Amino acid sequence: MYISEHEVREVLTYEALIPAIRQALIDYSAGLVDQPARMVLRAGNGEGFRNGWFAVMPVIAGDVMGVKTVTFYPGNAELGLHTHMALIELLKRSTGEPLAVMDGCLITEMRTAAVSAVALDALAPHTAASIGILGSGVQARSHIEAFRRVRPGLNEIRVWSRTAANAERLAEESGARAVSIEEAAASDVVLTVTSSPTPVLEGRWLSDQALVLAVGATGASLRELDDEVMRSCFIVAESRSCAERESGDVRLSGTTVQAEIGEVLSGQIAAPTGRRILFKSVGMAIEDLVGANLVWQARSREPLPDK
């Protein structure tokens, strides 16, 4: 069975995805997920930023197995093509039977936002009322939607983008305000979803108790956050090994991950209060498997069409 992006959109909801992701993150930190390191190959199709990559992400959890293949070609934007493309294959663990192959783009988009929503709910004080977003693309939009599911009290949304027109467009669509980067960074919660390879968020702009959710700059040589952000925050990640292997923000700042979000969610480690916290997300195969399995279960429950 092949499940298209349109069919995924019809059945995958944040109401189902967010709690499923939360449990998966707990299971991962408890050692219940078999997830080897992501394998990444450079495509060699161009020089500099145009050099795309191809990644393979296998995982086994519960009664299913899966593998996502994903490509990232930054130069595609100039061609009017998507920069990220993905497919997910879902298999039955007990027999190895393929259950479905599905488009992975929307699943990747939604699971990324769902992970951030879980972290927001776990790490942000309930008094947090404002969120600043650095970036105005697909992930900015999906995060706003997911955040509203878990924290409707975050009623002030500030948006900054290198392209002012894009920030204005997102602000108009989402009921936010387009602001300067300094004003966005002074919010209670700061989300970074840029494609910048060099730091855009400076620690001097943050409040003393800010929660930073860093989603962009996935790559060992890429950064969204300067050293002051990294060194002034208590650092939480989906996975210590993934962040310390794949995050340039962590590797190049010389910092270490102090807790996994699954450990915080299970109560094994308490997140500090009264200081800055950073949640660094790099994306994991278990998150894709959770989304794909929800899609498969929903599609399997649908009645067959009349002949």
**Binned average pLDDT, 10 residues per bin, the chain of 307 residues:** 96 98 98 96 83 94 97 85 92 97 97 98 94 95 96 93 95 96 98 91 97 90 94 97 94 96 98 96 97 96 53
Q: Where are the domains of the chain?
A: 2-107+286-301, 124-282
C-alpha span between 110 and 5 (Å, rounded): 12
Amino acid at 160: W
pLDDT of residue 31: 97
**Confidence (pLDDT) at 153:** 85
Distance CA 245, CA 125 (A): 29
93 close to 110: Cβ distance less than 8 angstroms:
no
- What pLDDT, on a 0 to 100 scale, did the predictor assign at position 79? 87
Q: Strand order of the sheet with strand 177-178?
A: 177-178, 156-160, 130-134, 189-192, 211-214, 277-280, 234-237, 259-260
pLDDT of amino acid 147: 97
pLDDT confidence of residue 164 = 95
Over its C-alpha atoms, the chain yields an Rg (Å, rounded) of: 19
The answer to whether domain 2-107+286-301 and domain 124-282 are alike in fold is: no
Quote the pLDDT of residue 304.
43
Residue 207 is predicted with a pLDDT of 97
CATH 3.30.1780.10 fits 2-107+286-301, yes or no: yes
The predicted pLDDT at position 303 comes to 55
Where does 124-282 sit in CATH, by number? 3.40.50.720
Q: What is the pLDDT of residue 48?
A: 75
Helix segments in the chain, DSSP class H: 5-11, 14-29, 105-123, 138-150, 164-174, 181-185, 227-232, 240-246, 248-253, 261-266, 285-301
Which 3 state secondary structure label does DSSP give 31? coil
